[in-house]
């Protein structure tokens, strides 16, 4: 793969990298098997919202989440001293993003639209890690976001992935 990193997927002649692209590809390829994780093909507004919230995850939520994860979880694991001012600023930035997500979820059941989609799965690893970093109350204090997390994290597939 061009950047020499994973995740990567080889499927016949297709060589694909980047987790979100791989996820979209697999959801499309196998959409008739099991749970459909994409909007209906002919629902242009559904696709627009789906892509919008996928972009929000990547361009708004993910950066804020990763900053907090480095400061609260990864740096201490590597023996890097904590920076209280940076941590406070990072948490405030993250909480502002969570406020927006909570408002979005006041109007729809899932982050990708009215039903569970692959967009929800894009958020789930970072949210799970944020809980491990002590940010669980930030989700639980936001009614809609907390309800969303309880819903998606109680899915059998998520439980199976997180067994060990």
Which parts of the chain register pLDDT below 70?
Answer: 1
**CATH number belonging to the domain at 44-161, selected among 1.20.1050.10, 3.40.50.300, 3.40.630.20, 2.40.50.140:** 1.20.1050.10
- Specify the 3-state DSSP secondary structure of 73: helix
Domain edges within the chain: 1-34, 44-161
**CATH number belonging to the domain at 1-34, selected among 3.40.30.10, 3.40.50.620, 2.150.10.10, 1.10.10.10:** 3.40.30.10
Burial 75-107 (b: 16+ CB within 10 A, else e): beeeeeeeeeeebeebbebbeebbeebbebbee
In percent, how much of the chain has pLDDT > 70? 99
Q: Looking up tokens 């959801």, which residue turns up?
A: 27
pLDDT of residue 74: 95
pLDDT of residue 1: 64
1-34 against 44-161: fold identical = no
């Amino acid at each position: 793969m061009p950047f020499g990193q994973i995740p990567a997927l080889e499927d016949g002649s297709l060589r694909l990298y980047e987790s979100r692209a791989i996820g979209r590809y697999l959801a499309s390829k196998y959409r008739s098997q099991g749970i459909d994780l994409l909007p209906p093909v002919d629902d242009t507004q559904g696709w627009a919202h789906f892509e919008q919230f996928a972009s929000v995850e990547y361009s708004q939520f993910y950066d804020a989440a990763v900053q907090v994860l480095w400061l609260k979880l990864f740096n201490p694991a590597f023996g890097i001293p904590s920076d209280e001012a940076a941590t406070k600023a990072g948490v405030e930035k993250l909480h502002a993003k969570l406020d927006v997500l909570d408002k979005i979820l006041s109007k729809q059941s899932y982050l990708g639209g009215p039903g569970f989609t692959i967009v929800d799965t894009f958020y789930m690893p970072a949210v799970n890690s944020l809980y491990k970093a002590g940010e669980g109350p930030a989700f639980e204090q936001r009614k809609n976001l907390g309800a969303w997390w309880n819903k998606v994290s109680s899915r059998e597939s998520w439980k199976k992935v997180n067994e060990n």
